[in-house]
Amino acid sequence: MNWLGSSFYQYGVALALALTLAPAVASAQGAGLGAAGELVDPEILRVCADPSNMPFSDMDGQGFENRLAELMAEKLGRKQVRYFWFPTVMGFVRNTLGANRCDVIMGYAQGDELVQNTNAYYRSAYVLVYKRDSGLDGVTTISDPRLAGKRVGVVQGTPPASHLAAAKLMSKAKVYPLMVDTRAVPSVAKSMIDDLVDEKIDAAAIWGAMAGYYVHEAGTDLSMIPLVREKAGARLAYRITMGVRPSDQEWKRTLNGFIRDNQEEINELLQSYHVPLFDEQDQPIR
C-alpha cells in the first residue's frame, strides 16, 4: 500500500528496446489489447507484488491480492499468473511496472501520479483499534477527549498522524515507520497490533485493509472502529484501484470491465480477509 507523495516518473522505450520488443507489441495488439506501445502480455497475467506483505500478497499466494489476481486471470482468459517480486519500498513502481517487468499493481490508492489508476474496486478507511473494556469503549474519532493522555500508535506520514497532531496526542504517540522491508521485519500493522495486545500502546490508528486481518489473527477482544466521523482535517477513507502504465489505455479499459463485471465477487473476497468496505457515503458495505 503506497501513501507517498512522489513525483511522476516519465519513462519511454528506446528505439533499440522497442525493436527488440516489437513481436510482443504485435502479439498484444493481435489479442485485442490495443494501441501501439502497449507491452501487456496477452497470455500471462504479469503482476507486480511484494513477496511478504500480508494480507495483500506473499510468495505463497495467501494474500487477497494474490487471490484477486487468480480470479482476474480466470475471467480474462490468461493461462497463468506470473509475479515479479519487489518489496514495497521507495522505487517499487520504477523497478516493477516502470521497468516493464509486470503489467499491473493489484492495489494502489487513487490519485497517486506514479501510475495510471483503473476505476476503484474497493473503498476502505483508516480505523482505530483498542482493547474492549479499556476505558475507550465508544470512542469513534481521534478527536474524542477520552484519548487525551493515551499512547496511540500511528504510522509516520499517514493521514491519522495529522489528526493526532491536531488533537495534541503526538507527545505520547508511538510512531511507526512508513516503509519497512517485510522480508526482514514484521509488517507495521502486525507490530502495532502486537504492541496493543501487549499493552505497549493504548490504541492504534491503522489502514483498515491491514488492521482487519491482524485484528482477526490476534484472537483477542479488540474493537476496530472506522475513522469516518472526523469533522475536519485530512480525509481518512480512500478508493483503491489497480495501477497500470500511463501508455496502457486499452489494458486499463480491460481491467475496468473486469472490476465492473465482478464487483460482488471482489467484495466477498475482500470481506473474507476482514477488509472493512464503505460506499461513497461512508456507510459499511455488508
The residue-averaged pLDDT of 184-191 equals 87
pTM: 0.84
* 114 band by pLDDT with thresholds 50, 70 and 90: confident
pLDDT in tens, 15-68: 222 222 333 333 333 333 444 567 899 999 999 999 999 999 999 999 999 999
Q: Of all residues in the chain, what percent are helix, strand and coil, respectively (each to 5)?
A: 30, 20, 50
Q: Homologous superfamily of 15-122+239-272 in CATH?
A: Periplasmic binding protein-like II (3.40.190.10)
Q: What angle do CA 286, 120, 264 make, to 5 degrees?
A: 35
CA atoms within 13 A on the CB side of 271: 11
φ/ψ of residue 149, rounded to 5: 80, 0
Q: Look at residues 107, 125, 86 and name the one whose alpha carbon lies nearest to residue 206.
A: 125
How many angstroms separate the CA atoms of 111 and 108, rounded? 9
* 180 band by pLDDT with thresholds 50, 70 and 90: confident
Listed by start position, the domains of the chain span: 15-122+239-272, 124-226
Query: Could you tell me if 223 and 140 are in contact, meaning their C-beta atoms sit under 8 angstroms apart?
Result: no
| Per-residue pLDDT at 104 exceeds 50 | yes
* pLDDT for the residue numbered 239: 96
* 113 band by pLDDT with thresholds 50, 70 and 90: confident
Query: Could you tell me if 76 and 33 are in contact, meaning their C-beta atoms sit under 8 angstroms apart?
Result: no
Percent of the chain whose pLDDT exceeds 90? 77
* pLDDT for the residue numbered 280: 95
124-226 CATH choice from 3.30.1060.10, 1.10.1660.10, 3.40.190.10, 3.90.480.20: 3.40.190.10
Q: DSSP class of residue 285? A: P
pLDDT in tens, 228-277: 998 888 889 999 999 999 999 999 999 999 999 999 999 999 999 999 99
* pLDDT for the residue numbered 37: 62
* pLDDT for the residue numbered 13: 20
| Per-residue pLDDT at 162 exceeds 60 | yes
The residue-averaged pLDDT of 177-206 equals 91
Query: Could you tell me if 102 and 96 are in contact, meaning their C-beta atoms sit under 8 angstroms apart?
Result: yes
* 10 band by pLDDT with thresholds 50, 70 and 90: very low
φ/ψ of residue 236, rounded to 5: -120, 5
Query: Could you tell me if 1 and 209 are in contact, meaning their C-beta atoms sit under 8 angstroms apart?
Result: yes
pLDDT in tens, 77-95: 999 999 999 998 889 999 9
How many angstroms separate the CA atoms of 129 and 263, rounded? 28
Instruction: For the chain, give the mean pLDDT.
Output: 86
